[in-house]
Amino acid sequence: MHRHHLAVSALMRTVAGAVVMPRFRNLAAEEVLEKTPGELVTIADREAEERLTEGLAAIDGDAVIVGEEACAADPALIDHATDARAWIIDPIDGTANFAAGQPPFGIMIALVEDGVTQAGWLYDPVAQRMCHAVLGGGAFIDDAPVRARASGAARPLAAVSKVGQSEDAHAARAARFGGAFALVPLPRCAAENYPRLVLGQNDVAVLRRTLVWDHAPGVLFLTEAGGYVGRWDGSPYRIGDGGIGIVAAATPELGKRATELLFD
């Protein structure tokens, strides 16, 4: 367990109970806004980020705080994700699902030092499931150690995202994967995507767009559980490395197979 685990977990549960869940299926039309075309933000995202920012500053005030909604207001803030110490916040991951009154969605936090994620938390407020990982210390679900496992399906299950690319590029990629893998829907929520790969529900996820708050906590959770994460060219994922895409998989072997298929 990370030394801040109890405090961060308690903060996330408190914000989920006080801000997020009371507004689930209870949002007025004017409380849902389009940040950019197709990108939603709700009053709950903004209130949750404010509460999480206050709470994390109290837990470790030496770390800079990089929140998704703060970055929407001030894009230069993203450059601080690789500062000496940074809290990275995604106040509601899966906002489109949340705004539509549908799970999954989650709250995610990562603690990053010099660009390396030290600890990550992914909380599902509907299931009340806390996923947690510590660099070099393992992965946990509700404080029980967990190891990633493949689904065991005859054709491994792959979720291929189309976000951040053209319909044609996505269709071509999906067609390449459709032979070796059985294509399954992406949950449109990284806080759900990474646990599915650990829990034997999905085998592979292929993603083009990789914003730091969407992936820093889940990447650590999956890799600490023994799974695989790499860039599309097979290089390691590092925050702020400018690399393209992510291949995430339940096992290194599945990750290698998926990466080879990307550019066949």
Report d(CA 19, CA 40) in Å as an integer: 17
SS3 92: strand
Report d(CA 97, CA 90) in Å as an integer: 14
SS3 178: helix
Query: What are the C-alpha distances in Å from 42 to residues 17, 31, 99, 175?
Result: 16, 5, 7, 35
Chain centroid offset of residue 241 CA: 17
Q: What is the pLDDT of residues 206-237, one digit of tens each?
A: 998 888 888 999 999 999 999 999 999 999 99
SS3 244: coil
Let me know: does 70 contact 56? Beta carbons within 8 Å: no
pTM of the model: 0.92
91 pLDDT exceeds 80? yes
- Residue 227 confidence (pLDDT): 98
Report d(CA 213, CA 215) in Å as an integer: 6
SS3 73: helix
pLDDT band at 41 (very low <50, low <70, confident <90, very high): low
Report d(CA 143, CA 228) in Å as an integer: 22
Scanning the structure block, which residue is given the tokens 């992406």? 186
- Residue 8 confidence (pLDDT): 98
Mean of the per-residue pLDDT values for the chain? Answer: 90
DSSP characters for 129-164? Answer: EEEEEETTTEEEETTEE--------SS-EEEE--TT
Report d(CA 200, CA 134) in Å as an integer: 21
pLDDT band at 38 (very low <50, low <70, confident <90, very high): low
- Other beta carbons within 10 Å of 143: 11
